[in-house]
Amino acid sequence: MKKIAFVTFIVSFFSLLKQTPAIALPIPSFYQGMPYDEARTKMLELGWQVPIINNSKDCQFMQEICNNYPEVDACSGTGVGFCLFTFTDANGKQFKITTAGRNPLEVVSWQNE
């Protein structure tokens, strides 16, 4: 009887572990004007993933940015040159970074969603 209770406990325990979502990833500290390459490196070092959002053949904005940063969602083709970049974690949570300028891209805002 004790063996059955123990086996039931073990099966229940591992079922619970299987349902537990992955731990949320830490958010690095940023500052306005930080080069995007530095911000991107910090995100990747903490385990954030780069989803391949764009396809360089379908890129409607700056081709160089599309080729170098598959996480780019969009860039304005005129004016200040804002771009939006998205990272994801294992839970599907998104972290977005907005940049301005072109050379270098500089962080202007960020948001954990």
Query: pLDDT, tens digit, for every residue of 26-81?
Result: 888 899 999 999 999 999 999 999 987 655 555 666 777 888 888 988 888 777 78
* Residue among 33, 107, 66, 103 nearest 74 (CA): 66
Provide CB contacts within 8 A for 102, sequence distance 6+.
Answer: 62, 81
Compute the residue count for the chain.
113
Whether 85 has a pLDDT exceeding 80, the answer reads yes
**DSSP E strands: which ranges in 22-78?**
72-75
pTM (two decimals)? 0.73
Query: How would residue 103 be classed by pLDDT, with cut points 50, 70 and 90?
Result: confident
Q: Is the pLDDT of residue 24 over 90?
A: no
Quote the CA–CA distance of 38 and 79 in Å, as a whole number: 24
